[in-house]
């Protein structure tokens, strides 16, 4: 098929600034996970499910996620795009499939923002000694953090990286101090703590905990969504994700043994902030710093989750799948409305949660479903890679020994099988271990995604696909349009 390429002004003017280096992408990938925030916020649910066997669940989910980061590296090298998962499926599996994966991406990241805003507000107010804040205080503080996050993002990619690195430094220092103090105090066992005994493990609880753990090991994929903003778009994106995924797992495997060994299990299972609880138990003088570190981790996760969503919406707008408004850039070359609109809607969701108690249960269900869609994104990317290697990549068909594709094929198979099992477990165990009715909410949101695919399929305008190319011989433009079937 003959490919039509045209350097439309609209496309050229939509170029993002290429400013990120590997150090920037790596810091974005680590901070996006928000490891301290994830431990503080999710520890109670994880301990309730698995007891002292939480580290087993983390290792279990870490394996497919690290393999998935390798898959992301390869897909980035072939198809660098700010749309990442959405764009890869468009190039590999086709238009309709990409529309569904685009819906998955929107559900995953938009519904992840309000669950960060509310803890950010509560952690901040708690640091000022307000243990039971009023609804007005929670809303005002949430708006404050949302506004700050929007400003960080709107000031440009370079500013986003610098602020993220400053906040991440606070987090890294806290982990380092906690590790030194915690393991130096290892011989002093706190009454009520627990140890892992393989013959006493509640394996059904470990499976449920693995489902929950899947929601705290994601975020490293942000460097894929930042690939068009990398100085070397076919080289560094993907490596930052691998560094981020491995670093976060190391964080968790350093922190969790300390929590389980030095804090009573019953207190961990009911605590809203396990890390501050650890500091109070082991070294009370470290409590203020730990609170600041958790807040820094939460804030970084907030604007970087919005970053991912904004770049995905930007890519979808270029292809005509969402309103063109989401594709407009400001003077700093970042997608203005793709940042502002999700932030405004997230604030509205938080306000309704806090002000209207009758809606809180519904929103809690929908927000809890974000974890399912985050895992679904990686599952579909595993399918993308599997299909690409088997049906599209000449090396894998012509020479089974070629390059690293045999290992990549094995990784894709493992990712698909394991994450599909996690999704099934999410639907089966979710109503009991996460929230009653969450299975129905997930099925409803998936049905809406299918309806959205049908809506886009019926539109009269021809679909487009934008590709990012750094070859100098393609009309001298980094962004071009190609026919949808290419």
pLDDT at residue 484 is higher than 60: no
Residue that wins the pLDDT comparison between 179 and 368: 179
Distances (CA, A) of 292 to 176, 239, 427: 15, 29, 36
Say what the pLDDT of residue 482 is. Answer: 47
Query: What sign results for the dihedral spanned by CA atoms 409, 412, 414, 416?
Result: negative
Q: What does the DSSP assignment read for 92-141? A: HT-HHHHHHHHHHHHHHHHTTSHHHHHHHHHHHHHHTT-SS--HHHHHHH
Task: Report pLDDT digits (tens) over 276-321.
Answer: 999 999 999 999 999 999 999 999 999 999 999 999 999 999 988 9
| Spatial distance between the Cα atoms of 75 and 175, rounded to a whole number of angstroms | 32
Range of lowest pLDDT (5-14, 66-75, 160-169, 204-213): 5-14
Confidence of residue 461 (pLDDT cuts 50, 70, 90): low
pLDDT at residue 462 is higher than 70: no
What are the tokens at 211? 């489902």
CA dihedral 128, 306, 39, 206 (to 10 degrees): 150
Say what the pLDDT of residue 479 is. Answer: 45
Q: What is the mean pLDDT of the segment spanning 435-441? A: 88
DSSP assignment letter at 483? E
Say what the pLDDT of residue 7 is. Answer: 42
The partner residues of 482 in beta bridges, in order of sequence, read: 465
| Spatial distance between the Cα atoms of 277 and 117, rounded to a whole number of angstroms | 21
Domain 20-442 adopts which CATH fold? Answer: Amino acid/polyamine transporter I (1.20.1740)
Say what the pLDDT of residue 426 is. Answer: 87
Q: What is the mean pLDDT of the segment spanning 42-52? A: 88
| Spatial distance between the Cα atoms of 369 and 195, rounded to a whole number of angstroms | 31
Confidence of residue 246 (pLDDT cuts 50, 70, 90): very high
pLDDT at residue 395 is higher than 60: no
Say what the pLDDT of residue 430 is. Answer: 82
Residue that wins the pLDDT comparison between 187 and 162: 162
Say what the pLDDT of residue 98 is. Answer: 94
Confidence of residue 50 (pLDDT cuts 50, 70, 90): confident
* Whether the Cβ atoms of residue 226 and residue 157 lie closer than 8 Å to each other: yes
| Spatial distance between the Cα atoms of 135 and 120, rounded to a whole number of angstroms | 14
Who's near 246: CB < 8 A, 6+ residues apart? Answer: 66, 69
DSSP assignment letter at 473? T
How long, in residues, is the chain?
486
Q: What is the mean pLDDT of the segment spanning 52-80? A: 92
Q: How many CA atoms lie within 13 A of 323 on its CB side?
A: 5
Percent of residues, the chain, with pLDDT higher than 90: 63
pLDDT at residue 477 is higher than 60: no
Percent of the chain as helix, strand, coil, to the nearest 5: 75, 5, 25
Range of lowest pLDDT (1-5, 85-89, 228-232, 381-385): 1-5
Q: How many CA atoms lie within 13 A of 419 on its CB side?
A: 29
Percent of residues, the chain, with pLDDT higher than 70: 89
- Nearest to 27, CA basis, from 218, 222, 253: 222
Range of lowest pLDDT (11-20, 378-387, 429-438): 11-20
Confidence of residue 249 (pLDDT cuts 50, 70, 90): very high
| Spatial distance between the Cα atoms of 334 and 158, rounded to a whole number of angstroms | 11
- Nearest to 241, CA basis, from 258, 257, 259, 225: 225
pLDDT at residue 138 is higher than 70: yes
Say what the pLDDT of residue 292 is. Answer: 95
The partner residues of 447 in beta bridges, in order of sequence, read: none
What are the tokens at 149? 């996050």
* Whether the Cβ atoms of residue 126 and residue 479 lie closer than 8 Å to each other: no
pLDDT at residue 6 is higher than 60: no
- Nearest to 254, CA basis, from 176, 339, 142: 176
Q: What is the mean pLDDT of the segment spanning 47-60? A: 90
| Spatial distance between the Cα atoms of 124 and 296, rounded to a whole number of angstroms | 10
pLDDT at residue 25 is higher than 80: yes
| pTM across the whole model | 0.90
pLDDT at residue 409 is higher than 50: yes
Say what the pLDDT of residue 486 is. Answer: 39
Confidence of residue 198 (pLDDT cuts 50, 70, 90): low
Say what the pLDDT of residue 189 is. Answer: 72
Say what the pLDDT of residue 117 is. Answer: 93
* Whether the Cβ atoms of residue 90 and residue 319 lie closer than 8 Å to each other: yes
Confidence of residue 272 (pLDDT cuts 50, 70, 90): confident
Say what the pLDDT of residue 42 is. Answer: 87
Say what the pLDDT of residue 8 is. Answer: 39
| Spatial distance between the Cα atoms of 18 and 229, rounded to a whole number of angstroms | 4
Range of lowest pLDDT (142-156, 171-185, 320-334, 363-377): 363-377
Confidence of residue 13 (pLDDT cuts 50, 70, 90): low
Chain mean pLDDT for the chain: 86
Question: Mean pLDDT: which of 4-18, 265-279, 355-369, 452-466 is highest?
Answer: 265-279
Confidence of residue 362 (pLDDT cuts 50, 70, 90): confident
DSSP assignment letter at 145? H
Residue that wins the pLDDT comparison between 22 and 192: 22
């Amino acid at each position: 098929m003959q490919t039509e390429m045209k350097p439309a002004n609209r496309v050229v003017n939509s170029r993002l600034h290429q400013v990120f280096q590997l150090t920037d992408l790596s810091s974005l990938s680590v901070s996006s996970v928000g490891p301290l925030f994830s431990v503080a916020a999710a520890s109670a649910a994880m301990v309730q499910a698995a007891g002292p066997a939480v580290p087993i669940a983390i290792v279990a989910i870490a394996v497919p996620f690290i393999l998935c980061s390798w898959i992301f590296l390869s897909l980035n090298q072939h198809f660098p795009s700010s749309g990442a998962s959405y764009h890869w499926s468009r190039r590999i599996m086709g238009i309709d499939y990409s529309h569904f994966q685009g819906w998955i991406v929107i559900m995953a990241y938009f519904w992840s923002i309000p669950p960060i805003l509310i803890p950010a507000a509560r952690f901040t107010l708690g640091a000022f000694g307000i243990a039971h804040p009023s609804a007005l205080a929670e809303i005002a503080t949430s708006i404050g953090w949302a506004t700050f996050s929007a400003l960080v993002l709107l000031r440009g990619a370079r500013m986003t990286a610098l602020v993220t690195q400053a906040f991440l430094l606070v987090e890294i220092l806290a982990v380092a101090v906690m590790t030194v103090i915690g393991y130096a105090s290892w011989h002093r066992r706190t009454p009520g703590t627990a140890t892992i005994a393989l013959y006493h493990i509640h394996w059904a609880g470990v499976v449920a905990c693995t489902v929950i753990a899947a929601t705290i090991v994601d975020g490293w994929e942000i460097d894929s969504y930042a690939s068009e903003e990398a100085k070397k778009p076919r080289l560094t994106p993907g490596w930052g994700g691998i560094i981020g995924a491995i670093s976060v797992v190391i964080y968790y495997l350093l922190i969790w043994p300390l929590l389980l060994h030095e804090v009573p299990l019953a207190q961990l299972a009911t605590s809203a902030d396990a890390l501050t609880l650890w500091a109070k138990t082991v070294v009370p003088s470290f409590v203020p710093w730990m609170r600041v570190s958790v807040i820094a981790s939460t804030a970084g996760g907030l604007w970087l989750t919005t970053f991912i969503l904004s770049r995905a919406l930007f890519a979808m707008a270029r292809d005509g799948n969402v309103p063109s408004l989401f594709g407009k850039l400001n003077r700093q070359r970042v997608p203005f409305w793709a940042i502002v609109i999700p932030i405004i809607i997230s604030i509205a969701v938080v306000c309704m949660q806090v002000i209207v108690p009758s809606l809180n249960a519904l929103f809690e269900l929908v927000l809890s479903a974000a974890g399912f869609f985050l895992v679904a994104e990686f599952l579909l990317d595993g399918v993308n890679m599997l299909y690409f290697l088997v049906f599209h990549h000449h090396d894998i068909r012509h020479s089974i020994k070629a390059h690293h594709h045999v290992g990549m094929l094995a990784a894709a198979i493992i990712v698909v099988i394991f994450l599909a099992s996690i999704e099934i477990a999410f639907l089966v165990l979710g109503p009991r271990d996460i929230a009653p009715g969450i299975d129905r909410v997930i099925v409803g949101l998936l049905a809406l995604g299918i309806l959205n695919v049908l809506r886009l399929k019926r539109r009269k305008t021809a679909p487009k696909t934008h590709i990012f190319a750094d070859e100098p011989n393609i009309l001298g433009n980094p962004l071009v349009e190609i026919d949808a079937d290419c």
